[in-house]
Amino acid sequence: MPKKRNEISKAIDVYKKAASVSVSEIALRTTVAAIPYAGGSILELWGGIAQRRTQERLNAVFEEMKQQLDETAVEKINRAFFDSEEFQTLLYLLLEKLHVTHDHTKLKMFGDVLANSGRIEFQADDKESYVRVLRDLSVVDVETLNHDNLKGWTPAIRKIEYSPDVLSSLSRLVGFGLVNEKFHNPSMPTTGSNRLDGQIYLKDLLASPMRRAFHLAPFGERFLKFISAQDEKLRS
């Protein structure tokens, strides 16, 4: 009898806990519903729309990954990599961002990254660093990084004036080591007089202040290739 009584007591405790959770949830949902304008939308998200959207994003990532692997020659893929702990880490790092990533272009990059991580040409690269950087960049940052203004001789031979929003993006890219920043000063004159040289230099500096030039870094160049769809088609 005491044993049955204990079992009944435990069952009652479970029901009490379930009831208290239900009451708490009802109270919370009631509070949310009362939020002007946004309450209904929040409840809809709560009811499963957010999960469905995340699933759709996941499908987009895997579809892009599959397409890239389908278009890659077998001999260029390290098939064993997809069974490794390293690939598992890359996958989880990207999946963590699905809840806060809705831009289809970036989801496509996620799929390209997962496919490219198994390519032999990237076998020796620090792929986790690439993925961690990609997680923190916006699509606009990637577009800035891939702009011709940062490539070749362009930054050296052209005086480029960047808008404040682009400068903000460039600063982030410099921080990640994707872009190199250089400061160009007026050249120091050589008249033979230190005093005259200083005066001329100061005049030139005031007339043409020090400017910043940004160049795509080797890490940035490799990063762009890693996050991009590889332009190759298998021919029969």
Q: What is the 3-state secondary structure (H, E, C) of the chain?
A: CHHHHHHHHHHHHHHHHHHHHHHHHHHHHHHHHCCCCCHHHHHHHHHHHHHHHHHHHHHHHHHHHHHHHHCCCHHHECHHHHHCHHHHHHHHHHHCCHHHCCCHHHHHHHHHHHHHCCEHHHCCCCHHHHHHHHHHCCHHHHHHHCCHHHCCCHHHHCCCCCCHHHHHHHHHHHHCCCEEEEEECCCCCCCCCHHHHHHHHHHHHHHCCCEEEEEECHHHHHHHHHCCCCCCCCCC
Packing angle of the helix pair 104-116, 127-136 (nearest 10 deg):
180
Domain boundaries, the chain: 138-175+179-216
The span from the CA of 17 to the CA of 57, in Å, is: 36
* pTM for the model: 0.71
Alpha carbon of 172 to those of 117, 119, 208: distances in Å?
24, 28, 26
Count of CB atoms situated within 10 Å of the CB of 178? 25
CA torsion sign, 112 to 113 to 114 to 118?
positive
Mean pLDDT of the chain: 78
* pLDDT, tens only, 17-37: 554 445 455 555 666 566 555
Percent above pLDDT 90 for the chain: 39
* pLDDT, tens only, 90-101: 999 998 898 888
pLDDT for res 8 = 55
pLDDT for res 28 = 54
pLDDT for res 123 = 93
Q: Which residues of the chain have pLDDT under 70?
A: 1-50, 183-211, 231-236
Alpha carbon of 110 to those of 96, 105, 185, 228: distances in Å?
11, 9, 41, 9
